[in-house]
A and B are shown apart, each in its own frame.
Chain A
Amino acid sequence: MLKAIGARSIDDLFAPIPAEYRLNRDLRIPRQMAESEIVDFFRQRSRENGDGYTSFLGAGAYFHYRPVIIDSLISRGEFLTAYTPYQAEISQGTLQSIFEFQTMICELTGMEVANASMYDGSTAAAEGVMMAVRLTGRRSVVVARNLHPEYREVLATYATHQGMPLSTVGFSDNGRINLKELEQSITPETACVLIQSPNFFGTIEDVDAMAEIAHKHGAMLVVSIAEAVSLGIIEPPRQADIIAMEAQSFGVPLGFGGPYCGVIATREKYVRQMPGRLVGQTVDKQGKRGFVLTLATREQHIRREKATSNICTNQALVALMVNIFMTVYGRVGLKELAKQNLAKTAYAANQFSKHGKVLFADSPRFNEFVVETSEDPYAINGRLLGHKIVGGLPLKKFYPEFGNAALWCCTELTTRSAIDTAAGLIAESERSVRSAKEEVEEVTQ
């Protein structure tokens, strides 16, 4: 090959790189490993990574069953090793599957259009807000304090550079947004209100009331959905203007936080301000149905600095997992799946409430709930680990005022016996705190 090119050595081809910058040594990285060694390395890391534990963690990342056909299908090289479907004639497989994905997201969210995916729920929320800013010509944003705290942090990062002032609206004793405070926090400059439902505490917001308040003041309502399975049994936020969703629950592995699958869905009239790729139906020269990437004039490769977003690569293969999951469960299965989540959670909340205090108990919830204990939840969780159980997420990390409260999550995979074990340990904790207190009281008397 060198001879064909007319080069004497491979170094000739690197001559354009000034000699003083060339690396004349080996990279200091691990030596080359055989496949068997690589597999062994990662099996070892897996053993150090919670393999074999039962978890009560949710908070934006949910452990649901993944039907095996998801991996069988996404492992097909034609899906796995294809590029973005710009060349429509040889990408109809990817394009039609995205078109079906967009359709099912619309059916589930009650929206009219959905895009082909965003990076995740947090960036989808930030992009949804920026879309509302473009649509309203207003700049400030009201953010629910019970929106996932990390989503709020991401929005803050994006907003800094966009000159978008953020303000926060708090929640009431029932865990839901305080509607009076919401009304007061909206100004004539408010582009949108960003909320989450089910919110970070798992309770379901009164979306219709919030939409009415936002719309009355000419602001939009952007709703973030972090637990997609809730859509099987919870009425979607149909009054929202933009829905920014995390679809990880639909067949995507927890994977220590990613890759996940964000989605934006909205009304048809707002489509030209949407970020991200869209697939549309059309016909070929013979009039045969086919699919193409469309409305690309919104995107960076055409519009450059005037694009609706800089997003290019999205989460296509993850969206395919989501698509297959939605197809497997479908109209009936998704509802039954959501009902099982509801039943497990109701049972757990009931068991926990016998010993600890379940907060926001009167608000409707999906599969998460907040439990307040007398003892520090980190201490209780430490003991649970001994039973190979990961307890709920202590909330003081994000909400200092919550002290000893933790966010627990149950899905269809949570067993009654794990719930009973966890409830038993909370009962023990409460008993020991109580008897310690009584001892102190006896001493002081």
Chain B
Amino acid sequence: MKHATPKATRHVNQNEGLIFEKSSPGKAAWKLPPLDVPEVDTAKLLGSAERKDLGHMPEVSEIEIIRHFTRMSTWNYAIDLGMYPLGSCTMKYNPRVNEAVARVEGIANGHPYQPEKISQGALQIIKTLSECLIEITGMDAITLQPAAGAHGEMTGLSMVRAYHESKGNPRKKILIPDSAHGTNPATAAMVGYAVENLKSDSRGMVDIASLEAQMNEDVAALMLTNPNTLGVFEQQIHKIADILHAKGGLLYMDGANMNALVGKVRPGDFGVDVMHLNLHKTFSTPHGGGGPGSGPVAIKKILEPFLPKPVVISHEDGTLGFEYDRPHSVGRVRAFYGNFGMFVRALAYIQANGPDGLRQTTEDAVLNANYIRKGLEGTYDLPYDTPSMHEVVFSDKLQAKKGVRTMDIAKRLIDYGFHPYTTAFPLIVPGALMIEPTESESVEEMDVFIDAMKSIAKEVEEDTQTVLDAPHTTRVSRLDETTAARKPILRWKPA
């Protein structure tokens, strides 16, 4: 397929210094209304606690601020500019209706401690979203309190620990496959568990024999991503659950890849006891340059007593409220009730899709990943030929012969107008290229991507240095990360 318009072209890009370099005394972008109460003598009220000076905080005008941030924004790549094939990160379209409804007055300005009587709208949103997510996951109960996926992991493992403690022994360790996200072992450590690695088999799945050998009464849970980070569904999932359950262990599912399952299969139906969701992945809330996320944790009945408090309940008169009296709760993991603004967005997304839409979203995500796999098979090495779900993992084995590694290819992809795929992860694939198109991409955008990847592979053979020096078209070239870490400059200082 030929494309009349190339994906990217260079164009004039505004430079912009640091805001502090534009500051000068007397400029202002703020205006306060006249005081309707008497002025106060701050020295008298505060004494030695009074602050005299705000140091080098900037003084700039409104148009300068608008230009400052607008100019900087143009230096970012974004989903709104094109395909963002970061594997495991699920960079799907962020619908704008989500943003609009999150800003409706009573939703944006609700105070977390306002009386329940005038909080019924927010409580209804929490309840409705909870019910939808319970149905989607096939679990029995849920908490929306965790602020992100890793925070959800901590909440889930805390409940696992509380469960085992209630049986008289918290147990000692968590099994984690070698393909897992880094947050899994880091979380296990935060919850006071030792981490034991679990090998993958030749098809990239949990090695059942190893699991059987390693499973014993010291193991509290297995943390499993399904589909795993190779984009492969763990076909023996129920056997895995049985091995754990037989020795009293629990199955934790990292729901980072839930977007491959929604509407097609439910973790609760295949033996999962506890799992987190990432509303900023599967349920379309924006990544915003790194957050905010939201990491609800869905659980089976056996873990319900340990849910973080408060939980939302229905009163006898039909109104909703919070219940704090939860004697077996793991406690709070965050002040208030979680990243409520993300609940609003996720619920709007579920409503915009409905049952049919959610199912089709999953099907399209899997279809797209397989289309890219087919398009690039042969050009890039496919270390595991197990069927792919929502993402596909290649390796740089063929290109490495020319001294070109996955990061070089990724950087060259930038020149073609795309954000790189995920590099060097999962760890079980040396030189991984992890590609996740999501359901948002059209076949046209994916064809441009496939052509770009093929063109880079050709460049590796014919013009290696161009790839090694990439990117060539960005406002900065590759940055010196070594010096940045060795002599950290973490803030601006006046000259």
| B58 lies within 8 A of A331 (CB) | yes
* Beta-carbon contacts under 8 Å, A137-168 to B: 148, 150-151, 153-154, 156-158, 160-163
Chain A residue with the shortest CB-CB distance to B118: A50
Instruction: Decide yes or no whether B404 CB sits under 8 A from chain A.
Output: no
A-B contact pairs, 28 of them (CB 8 A): A5-B367, A7-B370, A13-B363, A15-B387, A17-B235, A31-B354, A33-B352, A45-B125, A48-B124, A88-B481, A90-B77, A90-B471, A91-B76, A94-B76, A150-B332, A157-B158, A233-B46, A233-B50, A256-B119, A257-B337, A259-B291, A295-B488, A310-B183, A320-B288, A328-B65, A331-B56, A343-B38, A344-B37
Q: Contacts A18-B238, A27-B135 given: A256-B111 contact, CB under 8 Å?
A: yes
Q: Contacts A153-B331, A364-B45 given: A90-B76 contact, CB under 8 Å?
A: yes
What are the residues of chain A within 8 A of B54 when measuring CB–CB? 107-108, 232, 330-332, 334-335
Q: For the complex formed, measure the closest distance between the CB of A295 and the CB atoms of chain B, giving whole angstroms.
A: 6
Expressed in whole angstroms, the Cα–Cα distance for A317 and B102 within the complex equals: 14
Expressed in whole angstroms, the Cα–Cα distance for A148 and B489 within the complex equals: 33
Closest 3 CB pairs of A and B: A317-B288, A32-B354, A257-B336
| A315 lies within 8 A of B40 (CB) | no
Expressed in whole angstroms, the Cα–Cα distance for A47 and B102 within the complex equals: 14
| A256 lies within 8 A of B110 (CB) | yes
Instruction: Decide yes or no whether A201 CB sits under 8 A from chain B.
Output: no
Expressed in whole angstroms, the Cα–Cα distance for A235 and B47 within the complex equals: 10
What are the residues of chain B within 8 A of A310 when measuring CB–CB? 150, 153-154, 183, 186-187, 189-190
| B351 lies within 8 A of A33 (CB) | yes
What are the residues of chain A within 8 A of B344 when measuring CB–CB? 42
Per-residue CB contact flags for chain B residues 123-151 toward chain A (1 = under 8 Å, else 0) read 01100100110011000000000011111
Expressed in whole angstroms, the Cα–Cα distance for A123 and B59 within the complex equals: 32
Instruction: Decide yes or no whether B5 CB sits under 8 A from chain A.
Output: no
Instruction: Please count how many residues in chain A sit with their CB below 8 Å of the partner chain's CB atoms.
Output: 187
Identify which of A185-193, A212-220, A274-282, A436-444 touches chain B: A274-282
Expressed in whole angstroms, the Cα–Cα distance for A280 and B491 within the complex equals: 7
Q: Contacts A88-B479, A91-B76 given: A364-B107 contact, CB under 8 Å?
A: no
* Beta-carbon contacts under 8 Å, A275-293 to B: 277-286, 288, 290-292
| B269 lies within 8 A of A63 (CB) | no
| A337 lies within 8 A of B30 (CB) | yes
| A4 lies within 8 A of B121 (CB) | no
Q: Contacts A83-B289, A235-B48 given: A280-B490 contact, CB under 8 Å?
A: yes
Q: How large is the interface on B (under 10, 10 to 19, 20 to 34, 35 or more residues)?
A: 35 or more
Q: Contacts A85-B290, A304-B186 given: A123-B110 contact, CB under 8 Å?
A: no
Instruction: Decide yes or no whether B384 CB sits under 8 A from chain A.
Output: no
Q: For the complex formed, measure the closest distance between the CB of A409 and the CB atoms of chain B, giving whole angstroms.
A: 10
| A320 lies within 8 A of B289 (CB) | yes
What are the residues of chain A within 8 A of B292 when measuring CB–CB? 119, 258-259, 313-318
Q: Contacts A29-B136, A390-B111 given: A285-B478 contact, CB under 8 Å?
A: yes
Give which listed residue, B264, B354, B481, contacts A22 with CB less than 8 A: B264
Instruction: Decide yes or no whether A380 CB sits under 8 A from chain B.
Output: no
* Beta-carbon contacts under 8 Å, B28-71 to A: 28-30, 32-33, 35-40, 42, 45-51, 54-60, 62, 65-66, 68-70
Chain A residue with the shortest CB-CB distance to B77: A90
What are the residues of chain A within 8 A of B484 when measuring CB–CB? 280-282, 292, 294
Expressed in whole angstroms, the Cα–Cα distance for A343 and B45 within the complex equals: 10
Q: For the complex formed, measure the closest distance between the CB of B61 and the CB atoms of chain A, giving whole angstroms.
A: 10
| A78 lies within 8 A of B150 (CB) | no
Chain A residue with the shortest CB-CB distance to B483: A282
Output the residue of B50, B78, B280, B410 with the most chain A CB within 10 A.
B78
Give which listed residue, A63, A157, A259, A284, contacts B477 with CB less than 8 A: A284
Expressed in whole angstroms, the Cα–Cα distance for A415 and B182 within the complex equals: 50
Q: Contacts A153-B331, A233-B42 given: A334-B355 contact, CB under 8 Å?
A: no
| B45 lies within 8 A of A342 (CB) | yes
Q: Contacts A55-B111, A234-B46, A259-B292 given: A312-B149 contact, CB under 8 Å?
A: yes
Instruction: Decide yes or no whether A121 CB sits under 8 A from chain B.
Output: yes
Instruction: Decide yes or no whether B9 CB sits under 8 A from chain A.
Output: no
